[in-house]
Every structure is written in structure tokens, then in C-alpha cells.
Structure 1
């Protein structure tokens, strides 16, 4: 039952209690059936280690109540995703799109952003970002431009840079769950399978196969595709890369590829996460782990 407690402990740090179905999906360690997990949960509830309310399980009543009250925020976020996705699929440089972070964890609140992980053609990450960011800016749906479910376009990787291991911190439990939680909603080159294959490090941390899901979405061509196809060249990529980097906030430029930084403004990776809580999450998680030392989930 320690694997259940450790899983609930991790999501408790994210202020996210889980349903039984989610616990089956997210649980660390070897697979257990829903009936086995349910039986274990009843024992944990009986001993006061787990709280259950309206089919949601967690370690705090406060977070359970918040989870139940945030259904409207989650529904609004997925409606925004459905509306914006055609803009991304019409972008000729984008090969795959996945929903990430709070939306993928199903922990959206009224203050949460919608985070995407976007995979592009090789050496076209910056052209892809330009083609995604401009429409979002025109629609005024980026962070700081709208309060409800803003679109955050802060993580791009081209198809040659799918392995996220170089960007791990020590015992990176959050990044393992991030890779595991991705909801792939568009994929025209089997990126979903390649990503899982190249990120086996996450399986070693979680002690189970990755469970990221794929919900296919048909590509839509349009004016955006035709316009950006006209500037498809290495010279254009270099030009827009330098222009975008020059107008970015100084703090991003200073943090770029510093040791331990979550900001990467490279040729193949664009990762702009100034508010990186992974070290804090790992520290809190390790403090609350209940497994014996010999059974730690970390490799």
C-alpha cells in the first residue's frame, strides 16, 4: 500500500487529490487492478491515512473540496484547447501537440494556464513558435492577456530532440510524471511512440511503463500553412530565432542554459519555465516517502 500513499503524496504536493480511475493510471510501481487498489484504499481510510469524499481520494480535505469545485475551470480549459488546436495543426512546422502540466494532470483551477508541449520539424522550432504565438497574441489569449485559461506556448522541441533526460534534475519525480501525463492530441509522424521510446528514464523513476495517452485530431490546412510554407528555409529559421530571442525578457536571456535552469533557448529546444518548482517538489516528496530505503522508487 506504500505505492498508493507515495502516489497520493506526490499529488498532494500539487494540491491534487485523485479519483480511483486516476489512481490506477498514476500509481507508482507495479500494476494493480482497480479492485486491488480499491481494497487497499479502504484499509488506508480505516487507519486514517487517506481521506475519501465523493469518490475523490487524498491526504487533505481542503484539496478534495477544491478539486470538486474546479470542474468548471477544467471544462473551460478543454473548450479553449479545442478552439485553438486548429491554429496549431495548420502550422506547417508542427508535427505533434501534447497538453501538459495542470491540464494533463486534471488539476486546472481558475488561475491555471493551458500548457502545450509542441514537437516541430527538425531545425524549425522557432518558425513553429512564431506561427503559434502570433495568432495567440492577436486573439489576446496568452498569459497576461486573459485571466481564464490563457494559452502558454513555452515548450517546443524539434523531432531530433525528443529525449528530455539532459534537462533532468536529481531524482526528478515531477519531470517523470510530466512525461507520463502528456495527452497527445495531434501527431502526424508517430512522435507519440518515439517520445515514449526515447524517455525510458521516466519508467525507471516511476517503476512502470509510461501511460501517456493519445487522442488523435485531424490536421487542418489553411492560410497559416500556406503563408509560413513560403518562408521554409534555414535562413528564415535563423532570422526569426535571433529576432525572438532579442525581444524576450532579459531574465529569460540571462537564465538561458545556466546550470540547473529550466530555460533553454537553443536551436532544437525552446523551454521557458522561470517558475521551476521541481527541486522543491522533489524535496517535499522525499520527505513524505513511506517506502523503506531499499524500495525507493528512484533509480
Structure 2
């Protein structure tokens, strides 16, 4: 991405960036060239600088919002790690990562804990169902600290939707459990690296291993064979039937992406945020290029 596209992308989330962050989320590998582009955008009045933070609107309140969100993220992180430890103990869970706003260092009163979970092959739907039942029964269906809306299995680690949004999510994941699985996941999604060649890779030295308790181990043994495979297929069909009824207002194309449900993937994103973000970024980017007659290529669908 250019510096402009990077700033506009994060501005969709009302999140101003520093020069270092703009460089890290840009495709240009020259910090000097990125700095020159930022200076040009400032000169043209396209972006604004408030205390070293850059954004496309003349609103210093965005800086205060970000700094407050950064502090809240630091304070809430120990709790998120504690929740991830609980998730990692569930049967057939191989790896647990933090995603969403918290993985980017931001949290506010409207936020929640988004977890990206990798499971054993052909047991994804058992693992997912157990976690959802735990949320419904013991957490009174509250998702604020227990949002488990994205699962994949180890036999198909590559993300099929390969675009700026998913690349950003991959680049900002915080791996908490399952070191080997995380490394395999990153290797399987090497397509995302060219989007952000300057972004430091996540540290793996602090990733913990998933240790199962006696009850979790028992369930794994019980459902490890043909019975477990049959149950996993049944739970997939049951969930799919429920979602098709509940989200029938979604167009088929949107449903196939936002509620993707296969043997290897389970997504529960009824707002289809991915499509909304990529569409709005394209529109906003083209608006700015045209308004200021910039010699940038326009973005297309």
C-alpha cells in the first residue's frame, strides 16, 4: 500500500498512525520515500498531523481516542490472555490467537475479545460447539470477553479470501497458544507477506502450548474415532441449517463469505465487515485521488 492508502484504511476505524506505523503497513520498503509521500500529503492538505499522528480528518479528538484505547488495551490484555488459556484447554483446540481491535493495540467500552482458533482436522465443529455451549451456559451468552467467531483446521491453514483486509488481520494476530501451529499457519499464508514487507513478525518465544485437563483428554479419546467424525458432520449440518434460517436476509454471495461453513472453516461474521471495509476503502481512496488530482492508480473492485 502507499502511505495514503494505509492512512485511509486505518482512518476507517478512526485510528491515526505514526510515521513508523504507516511504513510498517505500506508496501514501499523505503522509509525515506514513505516520509516524502507523507510530507506531500500534508502539504496538499489531504492529511493532518497531530503530535506525530497522521489522519485524513482535521480532528485532534481522534488522537485522544486512540491513546485512551491503547491504554485500555494494555490494561485488559491480561484478562484476554486468561480467557485464551481457558479456550486452549478445550478438546481438539490446537492454537489460539487474538484478532480484531485488541490485536492492534486498541480497546474501548464497546470492544470485545475476538479469538481466532485452529483445531484438529475433522473435529472443528465439535470444538466450536463445546466453546459456544460454554459461552451460552456459563457466560450467559455474553460475547464481550469470549467472541469465538472464526475457526479453521490444521489440514487447511491457507485463508482463501486473500485481500488487504485478511492480510491485515493475519499481520496483526497475537499468537497465544500453539507455537508450531502458528508457524505452520504463517507459512501457509505467505501470500500475505508482500502486503506488509516492513511489518515485524510476531514473536513466538512467548507462545504457550495447549495443555488439556483430564476431562478434555477424556472427551478427545471418546470422540477420536468414527463416532467423533459422525458427530462432527452432524454438528456442521445442524449449525448450517440454523444459520441459513437466521441469516436468510443475506445475499447468497455475502452469506458464503460471512458465514462460511465447511469441513475446514467456520466463520460467524453476519455483518460481513470484510466486504464493507474493502468497499469503503476503495471508494474513499478513489475519492481522494480524484479530488486532489493525484497521480496514483485508482483502485478497482
TM (norm. structure 1) is 0.79
Q: Distance in 2 between matches of 1:210 and 1:297?
A: 23
Partner of 1:258: 252
For the residue of structure 1 that corresponds to 2:96, the secondary structure is strand
Instruction: Show the counterpart of 2:28.
Output: 30
- 1:57 pairs, out of 36, 50, 54, with 54
User: What are structure 1's unaligned runs of at least 5 residues?
Assistant: none
Q: Aligned-pair distance for 1:131? A: 3.2
Post-superposition offset of 1:80: 2.6
Q: CA deviation at 1:202?
A: 2.9
Indicate conservation of the 8 Å contact 2:149/2:266, yes or no. yes
Cα pair distance change 1:44/1:200, threshold 3 Å: same
CA shift at 1:68, angstroms? 2.0
Alignment of 1:142-221 (within 5 A): 142=141, 145=142, 149-165=144-160, 167=161, 172-188=163-179, 190-203=180-193, 206=195, 208=197, 211=200, 213-215=202-204, 216-221=207-212
Measured after TM superposition, the shift of residue 126 of structure 1 is 0.9
CA distance in 2 between partners of 1:225 and 1:41 (Å): 53
Cα 1:175–1:298, aligned 2, differ >3 Å: closer, same or farther?
farther
Q: Check whether the contact 1:70–1:110 (CA below 8 A) recurs between aligned residues.
A: no
TM-superposed CA distance for 1:7, in Å, is 0.6
Deviations 1:110-151 (A, max 9, x none): 112221111111111011113323333344275xx36xx432
Q: How far apart, CA to CA, are the structure 2 residues paired with 1:227 and 1:9?
A: 50
* Aligned-residue offset at 1:9: 0.9
Superposition TM-score, scaled by structure 2 size: 0.78
Verify the 8 A CA contact 1:95 1:191 in the aligned structure 2.
Answer: yes
Conserved 8 A contact 2:115-2:148: yes
Matches within 5 A, 1:17-166: 17-26=16-25, 28-33=26-31, 41=38, 44-45=41-42, 47-60=44-57, 61=59, 62-140=61-139, 142=141, 145=142, 149-165=144-160
**Which of 259, 271, 279 is the equivalent residue of 2:275?**
279
Segments of structure 2 that go 5 or more residues without pairing to the other structure are none
Separation (CA, whole Å) in 2 of partners of 1:21 and 1:136 = 39
Partner-residue secondary structure (3-state), 1:96: strand
Q: How many equivalent residue pairs?
A: 284
2:240 and 2:188 map into 1 onto residues whose CA distance is: 28
Q: Take 1:64 and 1:276, find their aligned partners in 2: how far apart are those partners? A: 28
Partner of 2:233 in structure 1? 238
Shift of 1:41: 4.3
SS of 1:155 mapped into structure 2: strand
Structure 1 vs Structure 2 CA RMSD: 3.3
Q: 1:38 and 1:139, CA in 2 relative to 1: closer, same or farther beyond 3 A? A: farther
